[in-house]
Amino acid sequence: MNANAIKIFKSLGDPTRIRVLLLLQHKKEETCQNLMKEFPLTQSAMSRHFNKMVDGGVLSGRRDGALWFYSINREFLKKSGIDIDRILENYKKEIN
């Protein structure tokens, strides 16, 4: 297994992070603030989750003024052989 795959799977190894991806699955991007409204966690806890996902290549982040926007890094995941939509769809089936 290559180093990218290990980072990707580590960054997906938490239910909160999977839920972030589910919220982003059908969106181009979303602000950090809007994503954080969906979780009963502190700002610092969510920041750690976002950073872990960006470090793993799963999310891309960009800053526009005071706002941070996050999106699924589909290009990187695809190049790494990860079909994130398939993973998320399977996850949704398992939790329903």
- Tens-digit pLDDT profile for residues 69-82: 999 999 999 998 88
Angle at 61 between CA 40 and CA 52, to 5 degrees: 60
Q: Would the CA dihedral through 10, 54, 69, 43 be positive or negative? A: positive
What CATH number should be reported for the domain holding residue 32? 1.10.10.10
Query: 43 lies in which domain range?
Result: 3-95
Structural contact between residues 57 and 8, judged by C-beta atoms closer than 8 angstroms? yes
Tally of domains within the chain: 1
Segment 45-55 shows an average pLDDT of 95
pLDDT for the residue 38: 94
pLDDT band at 1 (very low <50, low <70, confident <90, very high): low
Which residue, 17, 14, 94, 96, is CA-closest to 59? Answer: 17
Q: Which two tokens stand for residue 75?
A: 């290009």
CA dist 69 and 22 (Å) reads 16
pTM, to two decimals: 0.90
